[in-house]
């Protein structure tokens, strides 16, 4: 099986990749379209030059690799994707060959976390509109709309992961609940900038409580993101 997990930034996406990477039957890849996205958009992200040098910048090459044989001969292949990377110039028909899952998080939590690492995020930066667009695309193909909320995972990691594995037709492994400290061999080169907190973890963080304060200058981004999040939430996995 090939599992394409679609999220925006700061969505528990790296912890989820580490969780699946700790399965004995699963290979993982970290944001394989990042270089293509930067080349096509010209955006100035942290570590841009290193990212461009670290991956193929040709989205056709990337799509072919994602649809081909699983790495290391593993039965399962977990693909960590950022929805905002799927810009014009990157075809989507390869997504028919994978099982698409959507990982969401409340926009206030995403914006507060993202703004601490990169100033002035826009709606496009945090990926909600593209996430709904991709969900509607795969639904139109007749695929299921499987959505998991990072808040629910942190509330009950084992329950949600068991439910997700069941929905995917996979065996649940207890190893998914923890991982070695210090990152993963398949981390993208950008990990040193973004993954510091999860590098210091060995399991999912404790449940989220109060909502963080969003800087006033980003209130409009929060307002614009909320309708997308609310629509995505209608499809949430319930366990």
Confidence of residue 127 (pLDDT cuts 50, 70, 90): confident
pLDDT at 150 over 90: yes
Which residues neighbour 79 within 8 Å (Cβ) at sequence distance 6 or greater?
Answer: 2, 3, 4, 5, 28, 29, 32, 66, 98
pTM over 0.85: yes
The pLDDT of residue 117: 66
Give 5's strand partners.
80, 101
What are the E-state strand segments in 62-193?
Answer: 76-82, 99-104, 146-149
The pLDDT of residue 212: 85
Condensed to tens digits (0 to 9), the pLDDT of residues 53-108 reads 999 999 999 999 999 999 999 999 999 999 999 999 999 999 999 999 999 999 99
Alpha-carbon dihedral sign for residues 122, 188, 237, 174: negative
Which of 33-47, 55-69, 112-126, 162-176 is the least confident region? 112-126
Condensed to tens digits (0 to 9), the pLDDT of residues 159-207 reads 999 999 999 999 999 999 999 999 999 999 999 988 988 999 999 999 9
In contact, 172 and 166? CB cutoff 8 Å: yes
pLDDT at 26 over 70: yes
Phi, psi of 6 (to 5 degrees): -100, 120
Q: What is the CATH number of domain 2-233?
A: 3.40.50
Mean residue pLDDT of the chain comes to 93
Q: Which residue has the higher pLDDT, 168 or 114?
A: 168
């Amino acid at each position: 099986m090939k599992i394409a997990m679609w999220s925006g930034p700061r969505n528990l996406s790296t912890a989820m990749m580490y969780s699946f990477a700790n399965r004995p039957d699963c290979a993982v890849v970290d944001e394989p379209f990042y270089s293509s996205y930067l080349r096509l958009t010209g955006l100035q992200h942290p570590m841009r030059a290193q990212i461009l040098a670290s991956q193929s910048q040709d989205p056709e090459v990337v799509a072919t690799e994602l649809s081909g044989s699983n790495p290391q001969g593993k039965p399962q292949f977990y693909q960590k994707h950022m929805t905002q990377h799927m810009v014009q110039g990157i075809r989507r028909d390869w997504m028919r060959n994978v099982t698409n899952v959507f990982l969401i998080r409340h926009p206030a939590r995403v914006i507060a976390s993202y703004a601490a690492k990169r100033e002035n995020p826009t709606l496009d930066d945090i990926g909600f509109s593209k996430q709904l667009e991709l969900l509607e695309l795969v639904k139109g193909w007749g695929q299921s709309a499987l959505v998991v909320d990072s808040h629910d995972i942190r509330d009950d990691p084992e329950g949600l992961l068991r439910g997700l594995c069941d929905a995917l037709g996979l065996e649940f492994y207890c190893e998914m609940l923890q991982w070695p400290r210090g990152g993963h061999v398949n981390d993208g080169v950008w990990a040193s900038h973004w993954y510091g907190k999860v590098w210091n973890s060995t399991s999912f963080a404790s449940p989220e409580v109060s909502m963080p304060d969003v800087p006033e200058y980003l209130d409009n981004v929060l307002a614009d993101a909320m309708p997308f999040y609310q629509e995505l939430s209608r499809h949430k996995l319930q366990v």
